[in-house]
Amino acid sequence: MKNEFVLLVFFFITSISLIGQELELVDFKSDVTDILAFVDIIEAIDNTEEETQYNSFRPGELWHDNDGEILNAHGGGILEHDGKYYWFGTHLETGHQSYVGVRCYSSSDLYNWENEGVALPVVTNDADHDITAGCVIERPKVIYNELTGKFVMWFHLELRGQGYKAALAAVAVADNVTGPYTFIESLRPNAGHWPLNFTEAQKNTKYDYDIGRYTAEGRQNVVDGRYVVRDFKDGQMSRDMTLFVDDDQKAYLVTSSEENQTLHIHELTDDYLGFTGRYTRVLPGERNEAAAVFKHQGKYFMIASGLTGWDPNPARSAVAEDVLGPWISLGNPAIGTEEQIKTTFNSQSTYVLPVKVADDVYIYMGDRWNPANQLDSRYVWLPLYMEYGKPVIRWRDEWSLEDYR
């Protein structure tokens, strides 16, 4: 049905354009490009794709769930629980505002995904609610708390109509992995607490905030911690985020903070619902976001992006002996053509999933954003190799876990 519809549209537009060309009304080449782009969009919007069984990853290709609907879980992460994988991400259609909420899919092989519905819906009957429809919900991640038996979701929240000003971390909880999740609160982490790696001199510095952050003095102030001092009382800014659970079950919220200039790693309380007051600044002034943290052979690794909004940029990586740091930069993990290295294979990191089939191979999960048509924002999952103590990502048109068995 879908193919017939696309073909019909294609022939209709092609005929019009050929008649137009005869009459010298249109430029044929650019018209064909337009038609192809249009067919692409129709493909992405049309949700009536027949059921598809996958047995491989095809990075950047359209990816459908078991009902043939386009997978809609952006900025996502995966929780492995009781032998199944659960993929949580933001449901988006156009723009970056949330009108649906956080969607969940389940899978036992990572290729084929069952739609488990909306795990955390936006609120539609209270315009003042923190997660009212039209707010911004980004990068939701879910972890399981062994102590309480609850599933805990954290995400980046921006209040409706306020752009990216609020910079909040938000938490929701559920008894079942697929939800429904109950919204608890949104907040700026660790109000009234200094980072563990902040000196007395830093705490007592009085900054002149009129000095722009792009002058030499301003940049130095950022590195020294002027935004930490500014936000000490009300809590630290929290934008792009991820969660990480260590082997000892301690969990951490990693956020892009200080006007996105510096990452913060916050230790969570034992129930994962709040902050202990212990947090550190990571790579001060290095302008990282979209962090993904994983552990390999006792060390902590991070993949992150730079700050170019929805456009891709060269990824960064870092290593630490302790999750709270100090973190040491390891450079761009992408290996490939100049263009692939420059754009991280046209993607932005969101998560790194440990794959059990190989000791030194993980899955890099990235988003290829298309904010004008988020149904066409693609997923870029690539093998991430640990080579000589560094994470390395290479392009594969198509690959499977079986390749590493």
If the CB atoms of residues 231 and 289 are measured against ligand DGJ, the closer one turns out to be 289
Q: What's the closest the beta carbon of residue 281 comes to ligand DGJ, in angstroms? A: 20
Q: Binding string to ligand DGJ for residues 183 to 222, with x set by CB under 6 A, is what?
A: ----------------------------------------
Q: Is 395 in the site for ligand DGJ (CB under 6 A)?
A: no
Q: SS3 string of 330-369?
A: CCCCEECCHHHHHHCCCCEEEEEEECCCCCCEEEEEEEEC
Q: Which of 403, 369, 296 is nearest to 76 (CA)?
A: 369
Count of CA atoms in the C-beta half-sphere (13 A) of 255: 30
Would you mind telling me the total number of residues written for the chain in this entry?
405
Q: Is 235 in the site for ligand DGJ (CB under 6 A)?
A: no
If the CB atoms of residues 63 and 310 are measured against ligand DGJ, the closer one turns out to be 310
Q: What's the closest the beta carbon of residue 2 comes to ligand DGJ, in angstroms? A: 29
Q: Binding string to ligand DGJ for residues 126 to 165, with x set by CB under 6 A, is what?
A: ------------xx--------------------------
Q: Which residues pair with 361 in a beta bridge?
A: 385
Backbone angles phi, psi at 330, to 5 degrees: -115, 0
Under rule CB under 6 A, which residues in 297-326 are in contact with ligand DGJ? 309-310
Q: Is 76 in the site for ligand DGJ (CB under 6 A)?
A: no
Among 240, 258, 259, 267, binds ligand DGJ (CB under 6 A): 240
If the CB atoms of residues 59 and 306 are measured against ligand DGJ, the closer one turns out to be 306
Q: Is 258 in the site for ligand DGJ (CB under 6 A)?
A: no
Q: Where are the beta strands (DSSP E) in 188-271?
A: 241-245, 251-257, 262-268
Q: Binding string to ligand DGJ for residues 326 to 355, with x set by CB under 6 A, is what?
A: ----------------------x-------
| Residue, CB closest to ligand DGJ | 138
Backbone angles phi, psi at 25, to 5 degrees: -95, -25
If the CB atoms of residues 89 and 383 are measured against ligand DGJ, the closer one turns out to be 89
If the CB atoms of residues 150 and 264 are measured against ligand DGJ, the closer one turns out to be 264
* Beta-strand pair 316-320/241-245: unpaired
Are the C-beta atoms of 152 and 273 separated by less than 8 Å?
yes
Q: Is 363 in the site for ligand DGJ (CB under 6 A)?
A: no
Give 156's DSSP letter. Answer: E
Under rule CB under 6 A, which residues in 280-299 are in contact with ligand DGJ? 289-290
Return the ∠ at Cα 74 (arms to 50 and 152), rounded to 5°.
115
Q: What's the closest the beta carbon of residue 369 comes to ligand DGJ, in angstroms? A: 7
Q: What's the closest the beta carbon of residue 164 comes to ligand DGJ, in angstroms? A: 7
Backbone angles phi, psi at 110, to 5 degrees: 75, -10
CA separation for the pair 68, 47 (Å, rounded): 7
Q: Which of 168, 160, 167, 139 is nearest to 73 (CA)?
A: 139
Identity of the amino acid at 274: G
CA separation for the pair 63, 70 (Å, rounded): 6
Q: What's the closest the beta carbon of residue 163 comes to ligand DGJ, in angstroms? A: 11
Total residues in contact with ligand DGJ, by rule CB under 6 A: 9
Are the C-beta atoms of 266 and 228 separated by less than 8 Å?
no
Q: Is 73 in the site for ligand DGJ (CB under 6 A)?
A: no
Contact residues: ligand DGJ, CB under 6 A: 75, 138-139, 240, 289-290, 309-310, 348
